[in-house]
Amino acid sequence: MVAVTPRKAFLGIFVIAALMMGYALFAEHVQGYQPCMLCMVQRVFVCLVGGIALLAFLHGPGAVGRRIYGALCALACAGGGYIAARHVYLQSLSPEELDGCAPSFEYALENYDALKFLKTIFIRDQDCGVIDWTFLGFSMPAWVLAGFVALFAASLWTGFRRG
């Protein structure tokens, strides 16, 4: 049996985040699905989790550093999980319950200050309520939410386990 060292665990977290991001890019550029603003924000959090995990793998920290990296990864997972959960919630609403559309991610990024940009993330957006991709009956944001939950657990386990 192969022992799972903290470095290997952080590498695993990085690989899972990279695979999640890789599929998101595949779905966009090969399959033709256009990401909404909430999808783009989820991607930022996936990259953040992957980046922190990669740093932890390369650094190979001791017990205190492992806890810090584990907590940072878990916090990034919690942020991404919140956005994904909100996206799943918006997808559960009927079209009549959605209030208009938010601007595109690129437009908001280029034309809004940071506070207004963050506010637009939480505007109910009809595009974010559309389900145009499912696997085993779950939408992509639901799968991303499951990924964040799994990565959250893995981050805490890696950062705070004994040994």
- Tens of pLDDT, residue by residue over 6-35, are 899 999 999 999 999 999 999 889 988 888
Strands (E) across 3-159 are located at 134-135, 138-139
Strand partners, 139: 134
Sign of the dihedral defined by the CA atoms of residues 24, 76, 109, 83, in that order: positive
For 135, the 3-state DSSP assignment is: strand
Q: How confident is the model at residue 141 (pLDDT cuts 50, 70, 90)?
A: confident
Identify the pLDDT of residue 123: 56
- Summarised one tens digit per residue, pLDDT across range 93-133 is 776 666 544 555 666 667 677 776 666 655 544 466 676 77
Three-point CA angle 10, 2, 6, nearest 5°: 25
Q: What is the pTM of this model?
A: 0.78
